[in-house]
Structure 1
Amino acid sequence: MADEFAKGFGILTTAGLGWMVLAGWFTTASFEEGQLLAPPPENPDMYGQIALLLKDALFWFAILGALTFWVVIPAIDQAREALSERGN
């Protein structure tokens, strides 16, 4: 179980850091207003579009990756153990 927690935490921190860096570059209008959550630029160049796509992908990877290792995989393991005990 500690192994799954470490993997989920690694995914959460690494992808979260990547999301925060890209959000800081592209969606922070000023330091007095909503940082990291401002609307993206209206007409980004090709690299800006790729970075905005990567920002969204990192956000969802952080959330779904952590939930997978913290909730889904332990639930599957417990279900397998319960089914194997029931079969014996």
Structure 2
Amino acid sequence: MPRISLETTTGSENFAYTITTPTDTSTTEIVQGLPTVLFLHPVYIGSAIFHPIYADTRLRRFNLVAMDLRGHGWTTAKVEDTYGSEVAAQ
């Protein structure tokens, strides 16, 4: 699973993600010009919950992006006492 390093309000963090396109089940770039669907998983369940969705040909005509949120899966971003909805949205 690829990771991206981002500067956040809590410092430099690494987020794991999966990108699926009409031609690739796992890639590092979206296909320009196609709509992109972002999947955000619920608490305690990582982005792996979305992997069966990637086989659906009705959805595979789009870029599908799922990421492991802080404290989940392969994401190493910290969850601190100041973490709340505002930090999550940023």
TM-score, with structure 1 as normaliser: 0.28
- Between structures 1 and 2, the one with greater helix share: 1
Larger radius of gyration: 1
Report the TM-score, using the length of structure 2 for normalisation: 0.28
Q: Which one has more relative contact order, counting CA pairs under 8 Å at least 6 apart? A: 1
Higher strand share: 2
